[in-house]
Amino acid sequence: MTGVRVAGVGLTRFGSHPERTGRDLFAEASERAFTDAGVDRDAVEELNYGNFMGALAEHQGHQAPLMAEAAGVRCPATRYESACASAGVAVREAVRTVAAGDADVVLAGGMERMTNLDTEGATEGLAIAADDLFEVRAGVTFPGAYALMANAYFEAHGGGREELAHVASKNHENALPNEYAQFRKAVSVEEALAAPPVAEPLHLYDACPITDGASALVFVSEEYAADNDLDAPVAVTGTGQGTDRMALADRADLASTPAADDAAAAAYDDAGIGPADVDLAEVHDCFTIAEVLAIESLGFAEPGDGIAAARDGLTTADGDLPVNLSGGLKAKGHPVGATGGSQIAEVTRLLRGDHPNSDHVADADVGVAHNAGGTVASAVVHVLEVAE
């Protein structure tokens, strides 16, 4: 086993780029990652690439060789698909490959192109992350599934739309200085509450937008970083993954996310830390209720207490544990297959001190990234630490 370093990170601006091809988006992100890393393209030994709906959005399967070309690397390339956790699992396999000593340099990340579809097409594309026979045919949309979880949470623990509006408002505030964010626009709690419903109790500002974008990361072994004199101060010290029953109705509990509990426990164990050691987190807030469930799974709040965390200031930029300083999926955007890689990029920038929101976490040493697929039938958690 060897230490794994993040040598470089690269993102496209998240947003609406309906005219841009997926290959062009990933080319831009990977170019930035190589520049940031100071690593030559020909050093890359594997490409792990995440993508969810390319077959629907671009009529393009078998995307990994295409993205290897776009990035200018010639090596074994594989596409990973776990719905919204596609890049998270791609990153996890890159980390495991380097940690095992099977490669010294791995490029990982993902891309999603969505805004070339109309709203109905994107809604249908996202819905297929649920069980087609027993959920999608019963009218479950992606927001609808999280709305079912939100109502179950309110029923079990209390809380309501106002607490969720605080999550939305916080994440929009965090996105204001982030040059990669889709929405750099403040949203007040009152505005969030007044927005039209999407799937009650979730309204427009409870939902992430539809986004195009790509993420890329260069992971290297500790030895490679030292031998090549790379400036790579952030290490990935823990990785964990969890899987649950596909359909929400088949879960033991509708108001929590056991797959994320499992992923967090494994990642903390791998890193030899606990929730109390964490200084900041990027979590999968595809909907406001998802951030609430995520921070409970990560052990930052007891079950039933997560709903009040944003309102009470625990997770705000100047709180004890800032969550989604990037703006989160909510305001930064959610190009599905790129999101898990983008979270790693944001945590790395925050820990290195070169993120526009780094001043809020100047002394931070430990960050966590939480990436979820579907209604958290898949979950991936990574722990990143400042190593030098």
Site for another protein, rule CB under 8 A = 119-121, 123-124, 127, 132-141, 143-144, 147-152, 155, 161, 196-203, 245, 247-250, 254
Among the listed residues 172, 203, 334, 370, the single catalytic one is 334
C-beta of 149 vs 234, nearer to another protein: 149
Q: Provide the phi-psi class of 304: left if phi over 0, else alpha when psi is between -120 and 50, else beta.
A: left
Q: How far apart (Å, rounded) are the C-alpha atoms in residues 124 and 255?
A: 24
- Rounded to the nearest whole angstrom, what is the least distance from the CB of residue 6 to another protein in the complex? 37
Among the listed residues 17, 84, 286, 355, the single catalytic one is 84
Beta bridge partners of 219: 6, 106
Q: How far apart (Å, rounded) are the C-alpha atoms in residues 106 and 181?
A: 26
Does residue 376 contact residue 257 with C-beta atoms inside 8 Å? yes
- Rounded to the nearest whole angstrom, what is the least distance from the CB of residue 180 to another protein in the complex? 26
- Rounded to the nearest whole angstrom, what is the least distance from the CB of residue 158 to another protein in the complex? 13
C-beta of 9 vs 122, nearer to another protein: 122
Q: How far apart (Å, rounded) are the C-alpha atoms in residues 308 and 301?
A: 9
Mark whether 157 is an active-site residue: no
- Rounded to the nearest whole angstrom, what is the least distance from the CB of residue 188 to another protein in the complex? 18
C-beta of 150 vs 220, nearer to another protein: 150
Mark whether 84 is an active-site residue: yes
C-beta of 76 vs 197, nearer to another protein: 197
DSSP H or E run through 379: strand 378-386
Does residue 38 contact residue 6 with C-beta atoms inside 8 Å? no
Output the six-digit token pair for 123: 């809604």
**Amino acid letter at 131?**
D
C-beta of 112 vs 206, nearer to another protein: 206
C-beta of 138 vs 226, nearer to another protein: 138
Q: How far apart (Å, rounded) are the C-alpha atoms in residues 331 and 367?
A: 20
Beta bridge partners of 207: 287
- Rounded to the nearest whole angstrom, what is the least distance from the CB of residue 376 to another protein in the complex? 15
> 134 exposed, middle or buried (CB, 10 Å; 0-12, 13-18, 19+)?
middle
- Rounded to the nearest whole angstrom, what is the least distance from the CB of residue 29 to another protein in the complex? 29
Q: How far apart (Å, rounded) are the C-alpha atoms in residues 70 and 47?
A: 11
Q: How far apart (Å, rounded) are the C-alpha atoms in residues 196 and 199?
A: 10
- Report, as residue numbers or ranges, the catalytic residues: 84, 334
